[in-house]
Amino acid sequence: MAPASGAGRICTAREKALREETDPMEHETMQREGRPASITRRSLLKWTGLATVGTAALGTTACAGFNETDLADTGTKEDASTWVPCSCWADCGSKGFNKALVKNGEVVRMGTDQSHTDTPDCPQMRACARGRSLRGMIFGADRIKYPMKRKNWQPGGGENAHGELRGRDEWERISWDEALDLIAGEIKRVMDTYGNEGILLPGGVPQRLGDFDIGRMMYLMGGCLEQNGAVSSGAWTEMAKLIGLTEDTNDRMDLRTSELIVLWASNPAWSRAGLPTYDYMQCKAAGTKFISVDVFYNPTARALTDEFIAVRPGTDTAMLLGMAHVLLTQDDPEKNPLIDWDFLDRCTIGFDADHMPAGADPKDNFADYVLGTYDGQPKDPAWASEICGAPAEAIEKLALEIARTERCALIMSPAPARTGSGAQLCQALLSFGAMAGIIGKPGCCAASDCGHAWMQGGWKQLHEGGTYLGCFLKDTVAGPEYIENPLSYKKVNVNQMWTSIVNEEEYIGVDGNRYENPAHLIYDRHENFLNQGPATMLGIEAYRKMDTVIAQNLVMTTTCKYADIVLPISSMWERYGIFEQAYREQLIWTSQVVEPLFECRSDMDVALALADRLGVDKEALCPEADAQAVFNTVAAAKVLNEDNETWDNLVTITEDDLATLGVEGTPQEGRVPILDFKRDGIYTIERTPDDGRNFVPFQAFREDPEANALKTESGKLEIYCRAASEKVHGWGFAELDPICKYVPPTEGYEETFADWETKEKGEYPFQILSLHILRHSHSTFANVPNLREAFDHPLYMNPLDAEGVGVQTGETVLITSKWGRCLRPVLVTETMMPGVLGMGQGAWVEIDEETGIDKAGCMNVLCGPNVTTTGFQSWNTCICNVEKWDGEELVPDYLWDAREVFKEE
């Protein structure tokens, strides 16, 4: 069944062959007839060029890797090569499309999307530098090849563990049977002695797609101790559900109609190196004005913005309150209308004394707090400026420009919600956005962009069924049955996980009660959370107190380095593949590229082998083979027709297809033959600006709030949110006011002073920002030498601060916080705000055991376990000191030896 014109594309074999002969970067971006000239891919690369970073050409990373062999003549069978769509599993917040050219069982070249002509309306899903460097990870020298055991560790706990040697000890190769027997024996022993809570699984949710194996096994055994609170979205994870403002922006076609887009702490050119910045460039080509509000003048701001406003980390709420004060004091419904009173009246509660929920004190409304009616402190731009650092005039101008612009989108990354005052920030964005009338209208939004491009813009309006990256199995049509963790109420908060072990303190469970942490065995999967969670130095102490630490991964991450038993795991390139959503309009089906290397096994194979030893029902653990599970999701996927009402199956399936794939199923008619989709790996839904598919969050709610009530306590957007206050109080972390109030966060700007009134700086005079940078996706890719060489990992510092410290670009500095110390070369740049430092997150910690100093620049050596109101981590409120390093200069990390821990003699 052929697709209707414009309904979607999958390339023909002829198109595929022709395009694979052409460098995809040579495709000229086409212009739509009658529209302004579009921004080309080349201009995007030019304007997002990294003026302050980079020691090697991007092309080095894009093309270099292992088995660097020129393509031979593919005319003979012996020389035949095949392009295989391959997975990039890193959680970068975006998604590109990657292909591997496989020849004689080796990957000789990387490719990307060439399934259709690249246009602004229907862009190709290009791979980024990280995706193109996957060969360097999968075939790298630090790939874990065999099961290994730390030499001085023995089972049984106590002195047998020699925990003080974790991270220092040597390794010995063992067999899979020995490793599995040791692991199963320790799991049984710890559970018998300390209960199920004696086993701690750090990191994300164990049943997350592609990672439900060991976690699911533990659930089937009665549960285990997990963590909660460490999320990319910070406070948005909880606050969005309670106040009603979702993590969802308008789709890209609707944003092209915006007159003004304010990007707040948003730098997709680095953090989401896929299509988001390119889509914003099309808005700019259509005449949209851009303003950036951020701590530093980032590459996205350089590429897009007409104006830039600097704001200190953790003070965004103060700035938004100052902007709200401008609207309240200058609004005149007849002569100078600035506030959307109709929307506030119909769709919100808590803005003023006349719109408070029953039983609430009328004095506790947002408007009177901003005006200082009862506390005597107007939250005017002058007040806000002293805190956030932005000039009062700039705060006033921005507030007025947003309110006076008919189509304005205020889009905020989750970064300001990953602070000690992130909960208040969520309330502030809702309150100001509702006042300014930029919620629920075309071309308008006040939203967090959720940090993940594939989840934005109402993707469910275009395709449904199947599954997508990061979804949970509870509501999907295929996959193992969802199992609740019987111990979910005892999840240990991310900020208390290490302190509860090292300091033997009670932690607060999700039910608000306090519990002792009985963990004696840590089982690490792929999260590398010791490196990525707060207070890495405390985490190392906690690991060294364990009876047993087990880690499984493909490369020797930090969690593997501090383990007792390490298992070699196959990458997604060595498995059947996965079906996932890539962007709002793209669906991807990746395939196996190579056979598993060395003695590597999949996570599920490990879980099944342990299930045999632990008496777990293997059918309940994994009722379907990978091929069947993936096929089920592909077969269930549907795509919206051009009438925007009816749905087609994505794929056509025949009896012959079922036999070829070796799966069970039912023949069906769909858009494309299933084997074509599997071969090409990508399906793109074509879009046009007038296709009637523009997604605008809250549009129906704005038009009729009663018929489209939200899932909040009142059914409205809650500027005054009693549920949030009560829930936070029930958790017991800290108190949260029902309305947005500025509360100085722990380790925020105010704490950089010994005396706030005199502005005398204290022991830790600098704020430091945790940046998403091009060389890592969190800690994934941190071991790839080519990316280390292509993209530097310095400490960014303003020239005024550098002069005060007495350092110049390239010199090594010692960065000290309350929680740890690390070394970095400094890069002096005016793009960074004075008093604020920036450093990329994700580097694998390398501790000098003699000094206790991290040489790699791991941000979480500096960030502490500061408990916040909703229990999330405050990565972006951290204070520190910097001094010139008088020791040995750092060797550039791209010259470091790989973590090759075991060599055959």
Q: What is the pLDDT of residue 526?
A: 83
CA-wise closest residue to 48 among 262, 295, 305: 305
Rg, C-alpha atoms of the chain: 27
Q: What is the pLDDT of residue 476?
A: 43
Three-class DSSP labels, 132-163 = HCHHHHHCCCCECCCCEEECCCCCCCHHHHCH
Number of H helices, E strands in the chain: 32, 38
Q: What is the pLDDT of residue 147?
A: 97
CA-wise closest residue to 590 among 582, 601, 599: 582
Strand-pair category, 879-884 with 766-771: antiparallel
Interaxial angle between packed helices 722-731 and 236-243, expressed in degrees from 0 to 180 and rounded to the nearest 10: 140
- Please list the alpha-helical segments (H only) found in 13-132: 13-20, 41-47, 58-63, 129-132
CATH of domain 236-458+699-731: 3.40.228.10
Q: Using CA atoms, how far apart are residues 294 and 264, in angstroms rounded to an integer?
A: 6
Tokens of 572: 């997604």
Tokens of 65: 């890797």
Q: Using CA atoms, how far apart are residues 700 and 175, in angstroms rounded to an integer?
A: 60
CA-wise closest residue to 94 among 316, 276, 318: 276
Q: Using CA atoms, how far apart are residues 277 and 842, in angstroms rounded to an integer?
A: 22
Q: What separation, in Å, do the N-terminal and C-terminal C-alpha atoms of the chain show?
A: 59
Q: What is the pLDDT of residue 590?
A: 94
Find out whether 901 and 556 touch, Cβ atoms under 8 Å.
yes
Q: What is the pLDDT of residue 458?
A: 65
Give domain limits for the chain: 236-458+699-731, 749-895
- Please list the alpha-helical segments (H only) found in 13-118: 13-20, 41-47, 58-63
Mean pLDDT per 10-residue section of the chain, whose length is 905 residues:
36 36 33 37 41 32 30 48 90 86 92 91 90 89 94 96 96 97 98 97 58 82 89 89 90 95 95 88 97 96 95 98 98 96 98 96 98 98 98 98 98 94 96 98 92 65 61 43 78 94 94 94 92 96 98 95 97 91 86 95 95 94 88 91 92 98 97 96 92 92 97 97 93 91 96 95 97 90 90 96 97 98 97 97 94 96 93 94 94 85 58
Torsion of CA 33, 38, 42, 46, to 10 degrees: 160
CATH fold of the domain at 749-895:
Barwin-like endoglucanases (2.40.40)
Find out whether 135 and 66 touch, Cβ atoms under 8 Å.
yes
Q: What is the pLDDT of residue 29?
A: 30
Residue 190 one-letter amino acid: V
pTM of the model: 0.90
Find out whether 363 and 374 touch, Cβ atoms under 8 Å.
yes
Which secondary structure element, helix H or strand E, spans residue 853, and what is its range?
strand 853-854
Q: Using CA atoms, how far apart are residues 436 and 538, in angstroms rounded to an integer?
A: 45
Torsion of CA 203, 208, 214, 218, to 10 degrees: 90
Q: Using CA atoms, how far apart are residues 737 and 721, in angstroms rounded to an integer?
A: 8
Residue 53: CB atoms within 10 A of its CB come to 20
Q: Using CA atoms, how far apart are residues 289 and 304, in angstroms rounded to an integer?
A: 8
Residue 438: CB atoms within 10 A of its CB come to 27
Q: With H, G, I as helix, E, B as strand and everything else as coil, classify residue 57.
A: coil
Find out whether 815 and 882 touch, Cβ atoms under 8 Å.
yes
CA-wise closest residue to 586 among 233, 186, 94: 94
